[in-house]
Amino acid sequence: MNNYKVDFSGSVTSPKGFKASGVTAGLKKSGNADMALVYSEEPCAFGAAFTSCTFAAAPVQVSRRHAAEGEVLRAMIINSGNANACTGAKGLANAEKMCELTAAELGIPSGEVVVASTGRIGVQMPMEIIGRGIKLAVSELSSDGGVAAAKSIMTTDTVEKHLSLEVELSGGRVTIGAMTKGVGMIDPYLKTVPHATMICVVTTDCGLTNGELSDMVCECTGESFNRITVDGDMSTNDTVIVLANGASGVKVANASDAEKFKSALKLAMQELARKMVMDGEGATKFVEIKVVNASSEAAARLCAEAVANSLLCKTAWFGCDPNWGRIVAALGYSGAEFDPGKVNVFYNEYPVVRDGGDAGTPESDLAKVLKNREFRVTVELNNGDSDYWVWTSDISYEYVKINAEYHT
């Protein structure tokens, strides 16, 4: 997987046959760009995953249905500044209308359009503004519009998040492009069809089937977006869409090709997931929580997520305080079964806990580790051979300020 070179200047329009735009419709009081459109000149095979939140937003419900009922997709319309969540029947009708308006402007069936929204919950869409924005977005479509699209879907993000990479398959070279947004209300648990505040669009000019993409999206989201948490809050709007138009003329022809492409797709998603955590609201630390030697993956996951979402751990990391008592407390209430007398904990390579007690490493050495922008917490449960990892961030004063004052 590490053999692929990621180009962080690339975008959703890096693959052949894709166009995109990012425009200012007028949804944000700031006047910043707030609407994106991604469009393929040819019909696309697709894979999709959506939030498992019971309060799934209207655009999630509409896109989930289009993905479940359709055979191809061509376009995705995305707005920031309004989540269209918890808006009832009118919100559903407005989400469907966004697809219809986009389809009419592009001259394609509305079932070939999916929609995503991000912003404030509980506010109805101003459809007059949306309609004008869609017309503008279609008129601005460009093969160089990927970066503008990535900028226009930002909310509390401080930087746009996009990339591309190339993969050499048996029949030739294909390109993957991607963009995402989301730095708060981030703890996704995405489920694939048919079963955000984070929104991700992946494009590729590789030839694949819906079945192939669906399987890959399921596995790759499980190893990327479903492994991150900024604040432990799952969004109503989480959406991942992967579009494959086959414009390169190169198909996934065999098992080796499929493995190479899936590996590259996973890398793209992981790089974007990493960018999301690095840009977490007010975050000053990127922390990997790795639990090893657990009795099962489920137990390892319980432990990793308990530590990753602990406010006491996250605030200690912000203060560069190596308070390992908070870590073992989180492990203890995680619900996983283990012998506390066998537990070891490390900050990077420094032992913090040995056999359930203080490992004796000078606190000053541990504090130095926590002053780094990135560090790793490793937990050895020593009662099996399973493991699980999570990427998380600290919680700072700035996080509280952002979320106390947030109003789109």
Within 8 A by CB and 6+ apart from 255, the residues are: none
Per-residue DSSP letters for 286-322? EEEEEEEEESSHHHHHHHHHHHHH-HHHHHHHHTT--
Contact 356, 342 (CB under 8 A): yes
Catalytic residue IDs: 197
- DSSP, collapsed to helix, strand or coil, labels residue 23 as strand
Task: Tell me the C-alpha to C-alpha distance, in Å, between residue 125 and each of 77, 80, 90.
Answer: 14, 11, 9
35 pairs with which residues across the strands?
23, 79
User: At 333, which amino acid appears?
Assistant: Y
Dist CA 381 CA 327 (whole Å): 13
Give the pair of three-digit tokens for residue 403: 């979320």
Using an 8 Å Cβ cutoff, are 403 and 397 in contact? no
Check residue 251 and report its DSSP letter: B
Closest residue by Cα to residue 323 from 382, 370, 277 = 370
d(CA 82, CA 237): 11
**Concatenated DSSP letters for 149-194?**
HHHHT-SS-SS-EEEEEEEEETTEEEEEEEEEE-SSS----EEETT
